Amino acid sequence: DVKVTQSSRYLVKRTGEKVFLECVQDMDHENMFWYRQDPGLGLRLIYFSYDVKMKEKGDIPEGYSVSREKKERFSLILESASTNQTSMYLCASSTRDSSSYEQYFGPGTRLTVT
Amino acid sequence: AQSVAQPEDQVNVAEGNPLTVKCTYSVSGNPYLFWYVQYPNRGLQFLLKYITGDNLVKGSYGFEAEFNKSQTSFHLKKPSALVSDSALYFCAVRDMGGTYKYIFGTGTRLKVLA
């Protein structure tokens, strides 16, 4: 089974702190994604990566950056956390294989910024 | 712009009755469509997908979905609902504009009543 793991399930940080969220997948997937999930808004794409060291902005990249130094690992960085970044963060991966476009998700990190 | 709409925030159904969770989409070209389920405090799990072929797609846990091109719909169905089906359901479409992005609906909470 595909496994996507995230470094923390729950995280509490203070305003202005630098926050690192890490995601690791074990299926050699080329594509990796970071979303945030808020009630009534569904999933919104922050950043995605289709290869090592490659990154593309999603719909809401402001206040975030990402790093992908290895194929299996995709990190989301909040440079200076703010209260409006309190949310559930979901990582996902997928292959480029045209028969298998579905995404596989990690369990999520619920981040609270106080 | 490509989009997905889930018109119902919540659907209530009695256990044993058939259930339908609605999804409509707007894309240019042929759509790649997906359904995911999210149980409390968990990541999203893939249920089923439509890429091409039969309009009726069967997936996990007895769920199926019907692709209707003329109505641009991809409704999720199950003949007999279980209390354990209670969860948050997301419809998604893959961006066919040359990126690897996915667009998600806002989610529909399904509540199956015993």
* pLDDT tens per residue, range A44-76: 999 999 999 999 999 999 999 999 999 999 999
Three-state DSSP class for A84? helix
Are A40 and B46 in contact (CB < 8 Å)? Answer: no
All residues of chain A having their beta carbon less than 8 Å from the beta carbon of residue B51 are: 98-99, 101
Look at residue B51 and tell me whether its pLDDT is greater than 90: no
B90·A40 Cβ contact <8 A: no
How many residues would you count in chain A?
A: 114
User: B23 pLDDT exceeds 90?
Assistant: yes
Q: What pLDDT is stored for residue B97 in this prediction? A: 67
**pLDDT level of residue A81 (50, 70, 90 thresholds):** very high
Count CB atoms within 10 A of the CB of residue B26. 13
In the predicted structure, residue A2 carries a pLDDT above the cut 70: no
Task: Band the pLDDT of B94: cuts 50, 70, 90.
Answer: confident
How confident is the model over A15-34, as a mean pLDDT? 95
pLDDT of residue A66: 97
**Assign residue B16 a region: left if phi > 0, alpha if psi is -120 to 50, beta otherwise?**
left
Q: Which residue has the tokens 């990249």?
A: A61
Q: Which of B45, B90, B100 sits opposite A43 (nearest CB)?
A: B90
pLDDT for residue B98 is more than 90: no
Q: Which residues of A touch B106 (CB under 8 A)?
A: 40-42
Ranking A18-27, A91-100, B99-108 by mean pLDDT, the lowest is A91-100
pLDDT (0 to 100) of residue B45 = 94
Structure-model confidence comparison of residues B34 and A95, the more confident one: B34
What local confidence, expressed as pLDDT, does residue B31 receive?
86
Q: Is residue A94 within 8 Å of residue B100, measured between CB atoms?
A: yes
pLDDT at B106 over 80: yes
Per-residue pLDDT for B61 more than 80? yes
Q: How many CA atoms lie less than 13 Å away from A32 in the CB half-sphere?
A: 31
Report phi then psi at B105, rounded to 5: -75, 180
Q: Contact B90/A58, CB-based, under 8 Å?
A: no
Q: What is the 3-state secondary structure (H, E, C) of chain B?
A: CCEEECCCCEEEEECCCCEEECCEEECCCCCCEEEEEECCCCCEEEEEEECCCCCEEECHHHCEEEEECCCCEEEEEECCCCHHHCEEEEEEEECCCCCCCEEECCCEEEEEEC
- Rounded mean pLDDT of A33-41? 93
Q: What is the mean pLDDT of chain A?
A: 93
The percent of residues above 90 in pLDDT, for chain B, comes to 75
Distances in Å between the Cα of B6 and the Cα atoms of A75, B52, B76, B88, B96 are 30, 22, 11, 12, 20
Contacts of B108 (CB under 8 A, 6+ apart): B6, B8, B9, B10, B11, B21, B22, B88, B89, B90
- What mean pLDDT is predicted for residues A103-109? 94
